[in-house]
Amino acid sequence: MIEIQNIEKSFKEKHVLNGIDATFESGKTNLIIGSSGTGKSVLLKCMVGLVQPDEGVVLYNGRNFTTGNKELQTEIRREIGMLFQGSALFDSKNVEKNIMFPLDVLSDMPEDEKMDRVNFCLQRVGLENVNKLMPSEISGGMKKRVGIARAIVNKPNYLFCDEPNSGLDPQTSITIDDLIAEITEEYGITTVIVTHDMNSVIEIGQKVIFLYKGDKLWEGSKENITKSDIKELNDFVFANRMMKLIK
Amino acid sequence: MRSLGKFLIFISSLFVRRESFSTYFKLTIDECIKVGYNSILIVAIVSTFMGAVTTIQTAFNLVSPFIPDYVIALVVRDMTILELSPTIIAIVYAGKVGSNIAGELGTMRITEQVDALEVMGINASSYLVLPKIIASVLMYPALVIFSAFLSIYGGYLTSVMTGLISGYDYIYGIRAEFIEFNIFFALIKAFVFAFLVAAISAYKGFFTKGGALEVGQASTAAVTNSCIAILFADYLLAQLLLG
């Protein structure tokens, strides 16, 4: 479980996050949604330590990540897997080496065990016979899958996904969403996903947090997101024609 | 001053939270190939022509009948060892290796590859930059020695082919009044320049913000700042060790 308490962040004069509190439960897909520029990605970066919040703390199973010492932060980070918006695969390494990378650097596993684990993860994300391809030789959807495989290779306790289906076609988006949801349930991982895609909310939003201009306006599940009377949330949820029709 | 302070903090961050020795060993070998082996051709071409041109220009300026021919070779040797090979090749090295380091790290930064390392709990600056600096400091002195040999040899070929001086006089000249300290001086310069090029370029690349345009700007800044640092360090070392 991850708890965030009173997270505040400003960049010079601009307040991006205004005291956010939330709890993200284990074995569930937790979604942070909101329009562009509302602070979703900044909140995610505060949670994984890429951005230092001005105020507040992030607790991983009660361990204080934000103000903890470097050793504790490193220990927690090694329990984290992250899928980046652009996949962030290492250009100089092929698919196999990309996935094996966390094992190479962070574990002393024998070579054949590492290879077995890589092949297992590739199979798990539905990719085969791509081991020797370079990131530049595979499609956007495949890059996301490789990114997921790399994120789970070290058996993380926490999985973070920054806009996992941005730039993907609707079918591939659903495949990626389903894959994340399956992995979350299968391994009991605490998964936090930042997205502004309502399809994802409907597909996998077990817990949803809505951010608006740096504030948390709403918290709930995909079942009751359409029943809210908050104007900003309704404007976001029913922005497209399809959702209006459903309503 | 603020940039200098940030640069020093960056350098000190390379030595904390390091990974295992074997990880760095493999990376350093890869970097040695990239910065050293892949620079051999350009260093060979520049050095050979540098020696050839220096020989012709020295001969052109030393036309007095009171100056023996072998002095031309002596001048070429000392110029090559003291200045041309360590410094001019350092400028070429900054253009090739420095821009490559800044471009690579800058691209990694804007495509979130650096963030990916940090999230994994790896000290990205140490993991990415330290092997580059070690490889540079190991390989550049070797390139300088190689360059000095080719430059002097280029001078010899020019002398013999154009008949400026005889091969015998040239070889006599490069052995005459040889000062061993000059080699030591050239190697000290090589170590310092290698560190400056790798560290400055890595610093510029590592802190790139924005997109493709900024990566290009970081590469340019890496080369220009490295060149200025090389020339400043060149003067400082000459003053300290020869002055």
Could you report the per-residue pLDDT of A52-65, keeping only the tens digit for each? 999 999 999 999 99
By CA distance, what is B30's nearest residue in A? A92
Could you report the per-residue pLDDT of B118-159, keeping only the tens digit for each? 998 888 999 999 999 999 999 999 999 999 999 999 999 999
Kindly state the tokens that stand for A57: 């703390």
Amino acid of residue B120: M
Return the closest-CA partner of residue A150 out of A190, A189, A110, A104: A104
**Which residue in B17, B23, B112 is closest to A74 by CB distance?**
B17
Residues of A in contact with B121 (CB under 8 A): 73-78, 80, 106
With tokens 């077995």, the residue in question is A116
**Which residue in B16, B112, B127 is closest to A84 by CB distance?**
B112
> Average pLDDT, whole number, for chain A?
89
The pLDDT value recorded for residue A64 is 93
Give the confidence band of A168 by pLDDT, cuts at 50, 70, 90: confident
Q: Is B31 on the interface with A (CB under 8 A)?
A: no
Answer yes or no: do B112 and A49 touch at CB < 8 A. Answer: no
Could you report the per-residue pLDDT of A227-239, keeping only the tens digit for each? 888 888 888 888 7
- Does residue B100 belong to any structural domain of this protein? yes
Enumerate chain A positions whose Cβ falls within 8 A of a Cβ in B: 48-50, 70, 73-78, 80, 82, 84-86, 88-91, 102, 104-106, 154, 160
Check pLDDT > 90 for residue B90: yes
Q: Which domain holds residue B140?
A: 21-241
- Does residue B4 belong to any structural domain of this protein? no
> Average pLDDT, whole number, for chain B?
93
Smallest CA–CA distance, residue A244 to chain B, in Å, is 36
- Taking one residue from A and the other from B, the number of pairs with CB-CB distance under 8 angstroms is 55
List the beta strands (DSSP E) in chain A.
2-11, 14-24, 29-33, 55-60, 63-64, 80-83, 158-162, 190-195, 207-212, 215-220
Give the confidence band of B98 by pLDDT, cuts at 50, 70, 90: very high
The pLDDT value recorded for residue A247 is 66
* Number of CB atoms found within 10 A of residue B63's CB: 7
- Rounded to an integer, the average pLDDT of A107-122 is 91
Give the confidence band of A70 by pLDDT, cuts at 50, 70, 90: confident
The pLDDT value recorded for residue A106 is 84
The pLDDT value recorded for residue A211 is 92
- Does residue B229 belong to any structural domain of this protein? yes
The pLDDT value recorded for residue A197 is 84
Smallest CA–CA distance, residue A237 to chain B, in Å, is 29
Q: Is B33 on the interface with A (CB under 8 A)?
A: no
Roughly how many angstroms between the first and final C-alpha of chain B, as a whole number? 28
Answer yes or no: do A105 and B113 touch at CB < 8 A. Answer: no
Check pLDDT > 90 for residue A107: no
Amino acid of residue A147: G
**Which residue in A73, A78, A88 is closest to B116 by CB distance?**
A88
Beta strand A190-195 with A29-33 is: parallel
Instruction: Tell me which of A144-158, B127-141, B222-236 is least confident.
Output: A144-158
Kindly state the tokens that stand for A117: 């684990």
The pLDDT value recorded for residue B207 is 94
- Rounded to an integer, the average pLDDT of B32-54 is 95
The number of distinct structural domains making up chain B is 1
Q: What counts of helices (H) and strands (E) characterise chain A?
A: 9, 10
Could you report the per-residue pLDDT of A184-227, keeping only the tens digit for each? 988 889 999 999 888 888 888 889 999 999 999 989 888 888 88
Answer yes or no: do B115 and A84 touch at CB < 8 A. Answer: yes
Domain limits, CATH 3.40.50.300, in chain A:
2-79+157-246
Residues of A in contact with B16 (CB under 8 A): 70
Residues of B in contact with A48 (CB under 8 A): 119
Residues written for chain B: 243
According to DSSP, residue B157 is labeled H
Q: What is the DSSP string of B99-152?
A: HHHHHHHHHHHHTTHHHHHHHTT--HHHHHHHHHHHHHHHHHHHHHHHHHHHHH
Task: Pick the more confident residue, A205 or B235.
Answer: B235
β-bridge mates for residue A195, sequence order? A33
Return residues 181-210 of B near A (CB < 8 Å): none
The runs of H, that is alpha helices, within chain B are 2-13, 21-35, 40-61, 70-79, 89-93, 99-110, 113-119, 124-162, 167-175, 181-206, 212-241
- Rounded to an integer, the average pLDDT of A31-40 is 90
Smallest CA–CA distance, residue B223 to chain A, in Å, is 23
The sheet that has A63-64: what strands, in order across it?
Answer: A14-24, A2-11, A55-60, A63-64
Answer yes or no: do B119 and A49 touch at CB < 8 A. Answer: yes
- Residue B80 phi/psi, 5° resolution? -65, -50
Q: Is B127 on the interface with A (CB under 8 A)?
A: yes
Check pLDDT > 70 for residue B189: yes
β-bridge mates for residue A20, sequence order? A7
**Which residue in B107, B112, B119 is closest to A77 by CB distance?**
B119
- Does residue B14 belong to any structural domain of this protein? no
Q: What homologous superfamily is domain A2-79+157-246 in, according to CATH?
A: P-loop containing nucleotide triphosphate hydrolases (3.40.50.300)
CA angle A49, B210, B31 (to 5 degrees): 75
Q: Is B12 on the interface with A (CB under 8 A)?
A: no
Q: Is B111 on the interface with A (CB under 8 A)?
A: yes
Residues of B in contact with A51 (CB under 8 A): none
Answer yes or no: are the C-beta atoms of A225 and A205 closer than 8 Å: yes
